Amino acid sequence: MNLTLKVWRQKSANDKGAMVAYEARDISPDMSFLEMLDVVNEELTLKGEDPIAFDSDCREGICGMCGCVINGQAHGPDHGATVCQLHMRKFKDGDTITIEPWRARAFPVVRDLVVNRSALDQIVQAGGFVSVSTGSAPEANSAPVGQAVAETALDAAACIGCGACVAACPNASAMLFMSAKVMHLGVLPQGQPERYDRVSEMVETHDRLGFGSCTNIGECSAVCPAEIPMDVISFLNRDLIRSRAGRGMKRA
């Protein structure tokens, strides 16, 4: 396969940046998207040019670091997959592929396709802790968790924090990410003591960091590699209403 790549190049956060065209030659359809970029970077290095900077780590769809926008879609055209799981057979010989970083005020560009996603970490940190006894091992059935609850918590915990939901949202909202984190603790008995304070603190941090509001368009869930459903946002909204109602009663 021979392809034309239009890649966002930006030397630093303060640099203006621009789209630059590259030719990707003799690409195997069995390559992953990142392997294709590795081939292009090797050629650029041999020419004495700066390679395209992009994030990656596990290359197994677990860490979420590889996220970028491909042809206007977060993580590219494959459904329920990250960029590192995207294979070149999803494209055709002669295609032009546009590659950009996440676009969100809360995700400043570091270099080329690399963005600073530490804002997501700050939201998680704002959620605080869960109360768990650290004494002797508890009896196995002292805090029973039903199968339905366990399944719900595990489904929400599947979020890998890649930020695709933010990149796909017209408002650059991190609501799907934040709701998944709220829900996977909020349905478990161990997460109950801090449940309503947690959601309030996380939402306040989310808004302070510059993420936009959720308008339920659904683009976030559509591009989520973990296929987190929109239901988690409803869960967060319910807990947030209860949290604010409780605070109001305490002030009264």
Q: The domain containing residue 228 runs over which residues?
A: 117-132+143-251
pLDDT recorded at residue 129 = 74
CATH number of the domain that residue 127 is part of:
1.10.1060.10
CATH code assigned at 63: 3.10.20.30
For position 252, what pLDDT does the model report?
Answer: 38
Instruction: Establish if 137 belongs to a structural domain.
Output: no
Please tell me the predicted confidence (pLDDT) of residue 137: 65
Per-residue model confidence (pLDDT) at position 103:
92
pTM: 0.85
Task: Identify whether the C-beta of residue 193 lies closer than 8 Å to the C-beta of residue 118.
Answer: no
Whether residue 121 is found in the same domain as residue 106:
no
**Residue 128 and residue 75 share a domain:** no
Cα separation, 187 vs 153, whole angstroms: 6
- Ordered DSSP codes for 175-241: HHHHHHHHHHHHTSGGGSTTHHHHHHHHHHHHHHTT--------HHHHH-TT---THHHHHHHHHHH
Averages of pLDDT over each 10 residues, the chain, 252 residues: 98 94 97 97 97 94 93 95 96 97 95 96 88 66 82 95 96 97 92 92 96 95 95 96 75 40
What total of structural domains would you count in the chain?
2
Cβ contacts of 35 within 8 Å, gap of 6 or more: none
